[in-house]
Amino acid sequence: MDANRGHLREWLPWLDSTNTVEDEISFINGSLEEYGKGEGVIYSIRKNGEFIGCIGLNWIDYDNRGCGVGYWLSKGHTGQGIATRSCVRLMEHCFDDLGLHRFVLEAATDNFASRAIAERLGMRLEGITKDREWLYDHYVDSALYAITAPEWQSRDQD
């Protein structure tokens, strides 16, 4: 993550609060707590054994059978379809194994790479949220994409 701060800082608001080993330990412990409660999960993305990023469910709403994805990749591994393939695998897990119904991806409106991933996945743009996230010194609007399990399954048959 340290080697990619400049690259990641463009879209991820939490980098300034993650600077030390203790910060990372706190993040890991919080992630384990969320996982234990069934509120979220995070997975590492590896290529040839090398850690190159993360993907996870930032939230899980079992009552409404929905979830929201978040991910990042190190700069040298973007543009290769890795994030798209990781999302596909996570979506399959959510729909097939967890029985979830709705999968959500939110990205800053100017984050064209993440928006393109949502579109490649067949997700529908449901709307733009004004001033959705504080990003260091300014607000950014967010594009909200979603797909339901039946939409995902019918996409495989096209």
Which one has a higher pLDDT value, 156 or 132? 132
> pTM (2 decimals)?
0.86
CA dihedral 96, 97, 98, 101 (to 10 degrees): 0
152 by Cβ neighbours in 10 Å (0-12 / 13-18 / 19+) ranks as buried
Give 85's contacts (C-beta < 8 A, 6+ positions apart).
none
Would the pLDDT of 11 be above 70?
A: no
Cα angle for residues 2, 15, 121 (degrees, 5° grid): 95
Q: DSSP 3-state assignment of 102?
A: strand
Q: 69-92: b or e for each residue (b if 16 or more CB lie within 10 Å)? A: bbbbbbeeebeeebbeebbeebbe
- How far apart are alpha carbons 117 and 147 in whole angstroms? 13
Q: Closest Cα to residue 86, out of 132, 128, 53, 49?
A: 53
pLDDT tens column, 37-63: 878 899 999 999 999 999 999 999 999
Q: Please report, as a single letter, which amino acid is at residue 15.
A: L
pLDDT, average across residues 141-158: 89
What is the CB-side half-sphere exposure of residue 29 using CA atoms within 13 A?
6
Kindly list the structural domains of the chain, giving each domain's residue range(s) and its CATH number in brackets, ordered by start: 2-155 (3.40.630.30)
Residue-wise pLDDT for 62-117, tens only, equals 999 999 999 999 888 999 999 999 999 999 999 999 999 999 999 999 999 999 99
Q: Are 88 and 96 in contact (CB under 8 A)?
A: no
Residue 35 has pLDDT above 80, yes or no: no
